[in-house]
Amino acid sequence: MDAPTSTTVSVQTEDFDISAEVERITSANREIGAVVTFTGLVREITGEGPITAMELEHYPGMTERSLREIVEQARTRWPLDAVRLVHRFGKLAPGDRIVLVIAASRHREAAFGAATFLMDYLKTRAPFWKKEHGVEGPVWVDARESDQQIAARWGRSGL
């Protein structure tokens, strides 16, 4: 599939700017009518109590590969003008941005559908692991069973 230049996946320690990322996509394509963004943030209070930091580990190489596959899956399901995925790793603090998903299309149904799908797949397929530093010391975050159930609504895929 011809991936337009606006499709980009980034795995980085640096923060991102939502407006700048959206602008980069929309300034290049005046046919976009709908842009949906998802931003995931480090929550200060979790099920285990307050946390002081979060560490994100990932699998270099496989991460980028799985994110690109997730984007290609979305492109086969919705007519998208642009997709952007940014996922941070390393040490983050409460309130810090973790992940950014952008889906842009002519109409909102595709943009909403794709952004939801991208997050569902990312949550269950992309090789990232979170460790929270709280009052009881560092704890690896458990995967949410509900994330698996949510992702199942999109059916089995070859990912």
Partner 1 sequence: MQVRYFAWLRERVGTAAEEIEPGDAATAGDLVDALIARGERYALAFEDLSAVRVAVDQEMGDLDTPISGAREVAFFPPVTGG
Catalog residues that contact a copy of itself under the rule CB under 8 A.
17-20, 22, 26-27, 30-45, 94-95, 106, 108-109, 111-112, 115-116, 119, 150
Amino acid at 33: G
**Cβ atoms within 10 Å, residue 157:** 13
Q: What does 124 bind: partner 1, a copy of itself, none (CB cut-off 5 to 8 Å by kind)?
A: partner 1
Q: Is 4 in the site for partner 1 (CB under 8 A)?
A: no
As measured in angstroms, the least distance from the Cβ of 98 to a copy of itself is: 9
Rounded CA-CA distance 74/110 in Å is 10
Please list every residue from 113 through 142 that binds partner 1, using CB under 8 A. Answer: 119, 122-131, 140-142
Q: For the chain, where are the alpha helices, taking DSSP H only?
A: 18-26, 62-77, 108-125, 145-152
Amino acid at 89: F
- Give the residues across from 54 on adjacent strands: 92, 132
Binding site for partner 1 (CB under 8 A): 40, 56-59, 61-62, 65-66, 87, 98-99, 108, 119, 122-131, 140-143, 159
